[in-house]
Structure 1
Amino acid sequence: MKWFLGLLASLPLGLGYALARVLYFLLYHLFRYRRNTVDENLRWAFPEKSDAERRLIARASYRHLCNLFIEILSSTRLRQSDMSERVTFPNLELLANATENFQKQAIVLLIHQGNWEWMLHAAMDQMGVSVDPVYKTLHSPFWNQFMLDARSRFGATPMPIDRVGREVIRGRKRKRLIAMLADQAGPKAAGYWRNFLNRPASFYRGADKLAQSMNLPVVFAQCRRKGIGHYEVLFQEISLPPHDADPELILERYVLAAEAAIAEQPETYLWTNRRWKKTPPESFLAKQTHNDTEAESIAETRENPL
């Protein structure tokens, strides 16, 4: 497997993208890789769209997924400057101001959109600061090690999500950005539950707690595709110290920013992810029922005033 991936990574990007078109045909049409999952995710996320519109998004997302696979493989042999030329940061000054020109740590929240791997490498090159990604251990030891090697290639220090608190405290004097793909499924009991793309979803309580306890600024990074193999990253302020007393507001603002980014360019989001497989706890369902009942009562009062 390793030699085969190395062979694919050595291909010129143009030839790699041609191979991605073949891979798209195999995954989407022949093997129907997670087609049911993608269709269900899109039905929930975009109930206002027609079946034909959702099919167009699905097909475009599979094409992007196949291109992304080639790009991630190529990141194991491309120069950092090559990726930096393909990823731009139009409003980098927002992040620079939040971190006082990168003199202190900050949390950068991401989603599985665009090319988050190239974004990490390009950010390190253009900002001159370490970008240390937080990762969730993959089930496959091979792919887990592959991604760790790729992400640490230029000096970054990946941190497992179950040890991120200790790692951040230990390296609190370092100048760095802590990158979190925060749209991954969090724990059922201890997670932050909220509707995400019209379905209950759990989020890890990591970014909000770290930001509160260590006075770290929190910024959202939206990775937009500008063309095949070219991206731009737009930063958006989520919360700056001193933070609001309610730490959940950080995750709430993140979810709103994530939903807006997905709505803007849905075909570049990772719809094959089984993001909503966890069943929400009874406490969340009871809260949702109460909110729905309250909303119906308010609507009825407005329609039938005394």
Structure 2
Amino acid sequence: MKKAVFLIVYPFLWLISKLLFPIFYLISDILFVIIYHLIGYRKKVVQENLLIAFPQKTEKERNKIEKAFYKHMCDMFLEMIKTLSISKKELKKRFVYKNIEALTELEKKSKGVIVMCGHYASYEWATAINFYKTNNKGYAIYKKVKNPYFDKLVKDIRANLGTTLISSKEVIPTMMRNIRAQQKSSYYMIADQSPKKGNQKHYINFLGKEVPAFVGSEAMAKRLGFAVLYLQVEKVKRGYYEASFVSLAENAENFADYKITDKFFSNLAQQIKRKPEYYLWTHKRFKHAKN
């Protein structure tokens, strides 16, 4: 059954990926009408999140953010599909790394690098980093898809950009194997997930609420003496992004526990406050908030 679903869906995804960008974004506009107006996908979750994060805003202001978010979410979903066939030249034009030297210099000096990313703007096209000359072998950590055929598709999409994908369970073994082989590496991790119940070791003030923070990225960096960067991605206009590396720690061992995690969430929160429509509001980020 899983294979049958994949075989039916895949040709449509491939055709969409080959569309010219004006038509491609017209499809996204149609998808927005279906997802937002007809289906109402996770609308209640989005509205609750926005009310918690921005209680000072009027309902009209939150509704404006809500609609803009859904339009962006549809764009980003289709942009992931576009990665199936997008050229290196086109992607480098649309996703620009402004200060690649901040990464390469740190790669030279450190044992390894962890790049902490948020669910903000475009984390799909961030793998364009593979088209730049860097010193370390790069890995992107992802959550495995239950359908093995779609899981392979996700890997194939990233492989088109030269990305080595590893699941969260493979991170530690891969790190230790690379250290033994003296292979200096950089690891790109989405770090703003809400930890599972029982793993709530540290709470942060995030958009006015005390919420548990995922501390795995910091813990690994401290254990191995890695440097840590924050990947700050901004949406310039539709289909165009700029990314900057922000230093969080040149050597994580030198920082007090949770300091790096706090700095990461502080940077992310500043971005969200400036342009909240580009954050992924469909996740229940406040579900384990205190009070």
Instruction: Give the match for residue 103 of structure 2.
Output: 95
Q: Report sequence identity in percent.
A: 27
Distance in 1 of aligned mates of 2:261 and 2:137: 24
Letter of the aligned partner of 1:115 in structure 2? S
Distance in 2 of aligned mates of 1:115 and 1:180: 14
**Aligned-partner SS, 2:253:** coil
Deviations 1:65-112 (A, max 9, x none): 1111111101011122321111112222322332228x8521100011
- Contact persistence 2:233–2:241 (CA under 8 A): yes
5 Å-filtered alignment, 1:1-306, equals 1-100=9-108, 105-120=112-127, 122-128=128-134, 129-172=136-179, 173-194=182-203, 195-241=205-251, 243-277=253-287, 279=288
Structure 1's unaligned 5+ residue stretches are: 289-306
Letter of the aligned partner of 1:43 in structure 2? L
Structure 2's unaligned 5+ residue stretches are: 1-8
Distance in 2 of aligned mates of 1:55 and 1:265: 14
Deviation of the 1:191 alpha carbon: 3.7
Deviations 1:255-287 (A, max 9, x none): 11111121122111111123333x46xxxx5xx
Distance in 1 of aligned mates of 2:231 and 2:279: 14
- Relative to structure 1, is the Cα distance of residues 145 and 204 closer, same or farther in structure 2, using a 3 angstrom cutoff? farther
Distance in 2 of aligned mates of 1:115 and 1:23: 18
Distance in 2 of aligned mates of 1:95 and 1:79: 24
Letter of the aligned partner of 1:164 in structure 2? V
Letter of the aligned partner of 1:217 in structure 2? A
- Relative to structure 1, is the Cα distance of residues 150 and 226 closer, same or farther in structure 2, using a 3 angstrom cutoff? same
- Relative to structure 1, is the Cα distance of residues 150 and 188 closer, same or farther in structure 2, using a 3 angstrom cutoff? same
Bigger drift between 158-167 and 185-194 goes to 185-194
Deviations 1:26-47 (A, max 9, x none): 1111111111111111111111
Structure 1 length-normalised TM? 0.84
Question: How well do the aligned residues superpose, as a CA RMSD in angstroms?
Answer: 2.1
- Relative to structure 1, is the Cα distance of residues 139 and 41 closer, same or farther in structure 2, using a 3 angstrom cutoff? farther
**Aligned-partner SS, 1:127:** coil
Deviation of the 1:11 alpha carbon: 1.3
Instruction: Give the match for residue 295 of structure 1.
Output: none
- Contact persistence 1:130–1:155 (CA under 8 A): no
Structure 2 length-normalised TM? 0.88
Bigger drift between 60-69 and 172-181 goes to 172-181
Letter of the aligned partner of 1:5 in structure 2? L
Distance in 2 of aligned mates of 1:202 and 1:208: 14
Distance in 2 of aligned mates of 1:192 and 1:17: 42
- Relative to structure 1, is the Cα distance of residues 274 and 146 closer, same or farther in structure 2, using a 3 angstrom cutoff? farther
**Aligned-partner SS, 1:166:** helix
- Relative to structure 1, is the Cα distance of residues 203 and 127 closer, same or farther in structure 2, using a 3 angstrom cutoff? farther
**Aligned-partner SS, 1:99:** helix
Deviation of the 1:241 alpha carbon: 1.3
Aligned length: 279
- Contact persistence 2:221–2:252 (CA under 8 A): no
- Relative to structure 1, is the Cα distance of residues 242 and 212 closer, same or farther in structure 2, using a 3 angstrom cutoff? closer
Deviation of the 1:242 alpha carbon: 5.7
